[in-house]
Structure 1
Amino acid sequence: MPPAPVRSRARRGRPRPRRPRGSGMEISVYKQFRNVMTSLWLVPVLCVLLGIGISFTTIAIDRATGFRALPEDLVGGPEAALEILTTVAASMVNLTVLVLTIVLVVVQLAMGQFSPRIVQRLLRDRPSQLAIGLFVATFVHTLLTIREVDVGDADDPGHVPGVAIATTFVLSLASIAVLVVYIHHIGQALRVSALVEIAGDNTRKLVNEVYPNEAPMPADADPGFVLAEESGAVTLIRYDKLVEAAQRADCTLELIPALGEFIPAGGRLFQVRGNPERLDRSAVHRSVVIRFERTLEQDVSYGVRLLVDMAIRALADAPWQDPTTAVQAIDRIHDCLRELAQREFPDGHHVDASGELRLVEKVMSWDDYVTLAFTEVRLAGAGSPQVARRLNSAIDDLLAFAPEDRRPVLEEQRDLLRAAIERSYGDERDAALAAGSDRSGIGASRQ
């Protein structure tokens, strides 16, 4: 008898692949549906069909009225109408090419600077699709209108489709408005925060779809805290409104995140000291503006942060380091710190008219500003003689200008800079050059 076949042990423990739910046809239809709904061309194609429909409708009205629906003084004669329609048609083609070019540039920038995985979301951008759709719809409508213009001859004065031409005027004005709005939109969309928000917002929506059950309230949630209704950075605080709300409730509010800090949705925004039941929480929420990006409306530290980012980006490890740009950023950092050096800083306590404490917040101190301004630039730029010398010059000037009680943090930064310079240069002569003080980096006053 032939031996019994031996079964593979590996096969016995291997799980069988699960077949996807639904038939192969259903899955294929779903894939095609998703590809169409998320494509760049769907909205423009629908707009083309809409433009054809508008053109046929307006031309039908003109024919039904014997091309006398609108007076010739309003839409012009046949020659003028042809000139206008030809110009509009050519302009719409140029605008369409412009928007497509901008979309491609945005995609390339996003792929190179942020992540290639963000491209899918950018191609689904509805404002871009609507702008392209309006331009191509206007183009199609204009082409169909041109064929209805009759120049006539010596015996026939000809006619123009007045309603169709008036519709062309309206679509042209709408296209100009949409172009301006679109340029603003694309400028906003190129910001890092906007691209991060695209990924974060869509992920949050997906979480709610995949896990529809509501999250339980935190165990420590109590009326003594005001929770944030949305996520983002605290960008604007209306202090007078918060003081009024706290005064009416006879309590004290403590703002937990500092100005510019991020807070998640449902996070603790305020702590209420006193009786929280009388507090108008809607008024409190209206008094704090939360956005997905910090702004320069009240946040001075954000301005310093931007200058520091410019400086360290110019000093990033790459063959195209630009210490001169870093020096220019340090110039403005120096100027801002000099403006702050002798000014009084608030303690974050806000009182009402009777002197009762109503609002407490975290605020930046002089030491905080100096640390923010110099630490990262020093760590990134100590190896560049230009940057090191410009930092020395800024610190020396601030030491001579700042009050006595504000000099220790500057002296600490100077000592740290000298230690970083010593570690960065193998030759004492290079270290001595970098340890000098020069407002130009390496300029006429080289020491």
Structure 2
Amino acid sequence: MSTPLGSRYRRPRALSPLREHLRDTFWFAPALGLAVTFVAWGVAAAVDTEVVELLRESQSYDELGQLIGIAEDAKTIITTVSSAMLTFIGVVFSISLVAVQMASGQFTPRVVRIFVRSRITKLTFSVFLATFVMSLLVMAAYDGEGDPRLVSSVPLVQSALTMAMVALSLALFIAYVNSTLRLMRVGYVIDRISREAVAVLRKQERGWERGAELGEETARIAYEGRAGVLRDVHIARLVRVAARSGVVLRLIPRIGDFVVPGTPVLAVHGGRAPKRGALRRSVSVGVERTFHQDLGFGLRQLSDIALRALSPAVNDPTTAVQAIDRIVQFLSVAVGLPLGALHHLDKGGTVRLVQSVPTWGDLVDLAFSEVRMVAEGNPQVSRRLMAGLDDLVLLAAEAEKGQEGEEGYEDRRAPLLRHRALLVELVERTVPEPAEREFALLPDRQGIG
């Protein structure tokens, strides 16, 4: 029913999807920041009260009067901060959202997720809100009694903490502006997408194995819930349920597929299907794809950027060439991997979950099909495509030679050669002049120098 496997496998983390889901939200970091602010204010208020009590017990009224004077001086600054911070937050983030909208219109709407997932954006917003709330709390903590012998608390530590948060807000504002300006630069956006795409490949690199037996399919489990894109699955939970039931589960749709209620989502091999309650919340469906477990999402975004750049409304072949550079980079990493399916282990080293992923041919088609078809009349793009395909053909030949006879590595060159032949056919059909055709099909890693 299942096959013990070697050390190439890695066990899934127990809460693997949770961190990624929180990163795709914008509310969690500010909410956590506000909770920390209330805790910090409570601690600072307790310290201030303790300091006043100690000074009153020792009858150090002169020192207490000095503290009251310092706190009153700080009150002016805190009042200014309280009135200005919320307005500052609104203006800064309104301008930032306009910049993000411009970037999404120029590149692809999916770049908005870079802004949403940005740590510096969330940290800046959280600190700004925390500073505003802290200033309000400190203002409320000021005692109207000016007599040192009657005052119950002097918010000196609270005021110092607020000043520190203002300084931190200014530093983060500089970093935030720099980060937002980078989001408007196509090179940064493309590099960010490609790094995340390659990271997904590296994360799944040890999960491929060839020759694992699943056993006979005994049941299928239908999806129940709202229709949407399959974002990810809770691998650790599915492995745990499969191990308790003594079966192997196989994910039928790929990550990124659109699923509707009633369609089969899991196949059971080697035994009875687990109870449906045990599989609750093991499949995550949303309105858009994420990078977490989606092997092809990075290529999809890079292809979208290249297509948008080659559209008549934009007509920016240089941006398309930059996207092709990163497409070639991604495929150069994927060419050495078996692909096909991921296998996840239980504690005993037995396969309990099989997850289908795009094959090498699927990735090559996703990378080049649409871009190749709109390369007509753009010699810069056709030359870069020729150079990229030639480089990948060489890498594919080395991969086939290094893994000769192993399943999953056959015909790595075939899809590349097919796209190369189709590109040549496109140029020959659309460029009438022989000299122009020869120029458009000359491999060049910069497009046109």
**TM exceeds 0.5?**
yes
CA distance in 2, matches of 1:422, 1:106: 46
CA distance in 1, matches of 2:323, 2:359: 22
What is residue 447 of structure 2 aligned with on the other side? 441
Q: Any stretches of 5+ residues in structure 1 without a counterpart?
A: 1-57, 116-128, 151-155, 191-222
What is residue 113 of structure 2 aligned with on the other side? none
Q: Is it true that 1:268 corresponds to 2:264 in the alignment?
A: yes
Report how far residue 366 of structure 1 moved. 1.0
> Does 105-114 or 304-313 show the bigger shift?
105-114
Report how far residue 329 of structure 1 moved. 1.9
Report how far residue 257 of structure 1 moved. 1.5
What is residue 377 of structure 2 aligned with on the other side? 383
The one-letter amino acid of 1:397's match is D
1:155-304 alignment runs, 5 A limit: 162=153, 224-229=220-225, 232-237=228-233, 242-264=238-260, 267-272=263-268, 276=272, 279-285=274-280, 287-304=282-299
1:22-61 alignment runs, 5 A limit: none
The verdict on how the C-alpha distance between 1:94 and 1:231 changes in structure 2, with shifts beyond 3 A counting, is farther
Q: Is it true that 1:92 corresponds to 2:98 in the alignment?
A: no
The verdict on how the C-alpha distance between 1:399 and 1:143 changes in structure 2, with shifts beyond 3 A counting, is closer
Alignment counterpart, residue 306 of structure 2, candidates 292, 303, 311: 311
Report how far residue 439 of structure 1 moved. 0.6
What is residue 52 of structure 1 aligned with on the other side? none
Q: Is the 8 A contact 2:68 2:154 kept in 1?
A: no
1:393-412 alignment runs, 5 A limit: 393-403=387-397, 405-412=411-418
Give the superposed CA RMSD: 5.1
CA distance in 1, matches of 2:365, 2:305: 16
Q: Is it true that 1:80 corresponds to 2:31 in the alignment?
A: no
Say which SS state the counterpart of residue 77 (structure 1) adopts: helix
CA distance in 2, matches of 1:368, 1:381: 20
CA distance in 1, matches of 2:168, 2:276: 40
The verdict on how the C-alpha distance between 1:170 and 1:161 changes in structure 2, with shifts beyond 3 A counting, is farther
Say which SS state the counterpart of residue 259 (structure 1) adopts: coil
Q: Deviations over 1:243-292 (max 9, x none)?
A: 55335434453322212223346653223456646x14344345444454
Q: Deviations over 1:115-171 (max 9, x none)?
A: 9xxxxxxxxxxxxx9999987776677778889586xxxxx9899783566666777
The one-letter amino acid of 2:363's match is Y
How many residue pairs match? The answer is 327
The verdict on how the C-alpha distance between 1:411 and 1:144 changes in structure 2, with shifts beyond 3 A counting, is closer
Q: Deviations over 1:50-101 (max 9, x none)?
A: xxxxxxxx9xxx9xx99x9999979962442234223323333442222211
The verdict on how the C-alpha distance between 1:160 and 1:265 changes in structure 2, with shifts beyond 3 A counting, is farther
Q: Is the 8 A contact 1:422 1:431 kept in 2?
A: yes
> Does 342-351 or 382-391 show the bigger shift?
342-351
Q: Deviations over 1:298-336 (max 9, x none)?
A: 3221222222223223333325x4322222221121122
CA distance in 2, matches of 1:232, 1:288: 11
The verdict on how the C-alpha distance between 1:342 and 1:103 changes in structure 2, with shifts beyond 3 A counting, is closer
Q: Any stretches of 5+ residues in structure 2 without a counterpart?
A: 1-44, 110-124, 184-218, 401-410
Say which SS state the counterpart of residue 402 (structure 1) adopts: helix
> Does 268-277 or 401-410 show the bigger shift?
268-277
CA distance in 1, matches of 2:363, 2:381: 19
Q: Is the 8 A contact 1:145 1:165 kept in 2?
A: no
What is residue 418 of structure 1 aligned with on the other side? 424
Report how far residue 413 of structure 1 moved. 0.6
> Does 90-99 or 287-296 show the bigger shift?
287-296
Q: Is it true that 1:343 corresponds to 2:337 in the alignment?
A: yes
CA distance in 1, matches of 2:151, 2:302: 60
CA distance in 2, matches of 1:96, 1:261: 42
Q: Is the 8 A contact 1:75 1:81 kept in 2?
A: no
Identity of aligned residues (%): 31
CA distance in 2, matches of 1:149, 1:326: 68
The verdict on how the C-alpha distance between 1:109 and 1:268 changes in structure 2, with shifts beyond 3 A counting, is farther
CA distance in 1, matches of 2:348, 2:148: 84
Per the normalisation by structure 1, the TM-score is 0.56
Q: Is the 8 A contact 2:256 2:294 kept in 1?
A: yes
Say which SS state the counterpart of residue 381 (structure 1) adopts: coil
Report how far residue 402 of structure 1 moved. 1.4
CA distance in 1, matches of 2:371, 2:285: 29
CA distance in 2, matches of 1:315, 1:370: 19
The verdict on how the C-alpha distance between 1:172 and 1:433 changes in structure 2, with shifts beyond 3 A counting, is same
